[in-house]
Amino acid sequence: MRKTSLFALFALFAMAIPATAQAGEPVEFSERPLTYHEGTLALDAGLAIVGLDNGLVDLSTTALAVGATYAFTDDLQLNAVVLPLLLDPEVDYGNPSITARYRFLKSAVELGAEVGVTIPVQDSTDLSLDAGLRGLLGLTDNTSLWFGLMFNIVMADETVTNMAIPVQFRMNLAPSFFWYAGSGLSVADMDFDTLTLPLGVGIGYTLAGPTGDAMLDIYAGYAFPGFLYLGGAEGVDTVNTDHYAFTVGATFFAL
């Protein structure tokens, strides 16, 4: 019943979207704003393979996420992941999510507030809330720096609060070719003894549409979510490459 309701809500949401966007998104990936231009509808699909291989344990999970983002104004957009599918080790419907982002500062630095909710459809999962700040700093004509301060609250029997400070550098090697590198800090359950630093890189290509705006992004990335454990055993920083994540995906700008 919950799955049917989510698809029905998404259908109503799509029907309310105007037929045309006022402005398209730039082809250059590094020049994208913090929020899409008013009227933009972007359809997203991503495949992720997340695994752990330490020589003793070899586990992996494959998941597909399909969703859409619509910009109601230049400063307000809504994203919905309506088709989260677990493909391996078994096929199952995952937990859908809805996220809203509002840009309240547009200058040399762009800042916005973001809130989201992940709905527990799967067994043995809990309601999850996300809230925080997102930011963007344009560095040069072909580079930009994205950053944030995000909190994740899991409404389990005992509430768990996690914190993340994501940082991503973006650079266009040519108008259509780009690469990015991500890192930051994460803290599990607000226990700073669990402070970790992720590390990831990716490449992508943007296909321009008839109007010269971005029509399709395709990308692939590889990351170590817990690359560096800061202050591990006996206060020694520990590098960890056993935990990995490989992603491929595409974004189609329908409007």
Q: Which domains, from first to last, does the chain contain?
A: 2-253 (2.40.160.40)
Chain-centroid distance, C-alpha 112: 15
What pLDDT does 1 receive? 43
Residues of the chain falling short of pLDDT 70: 1-22, 55-57, 231-236
What pLDDT does 233 receive? 56
CA distance linking residue 74 with residue 66, whole number of Å: 23
What pLDDT does 53 receive? 80
Nearest by Cα to 33 from 132, 101, 115, 120: 101
Q: For residue 37, what is the DSSP state?
A: P
What pLDDT does 57 receive? 67
What pLDDT does 22 receive? 60
Residue 177's CB: how many other CB atoms inside 10 A?
14
Distances (CA, A) of 194 to 24, 174, 188, 238: 42, 39, 6, 11
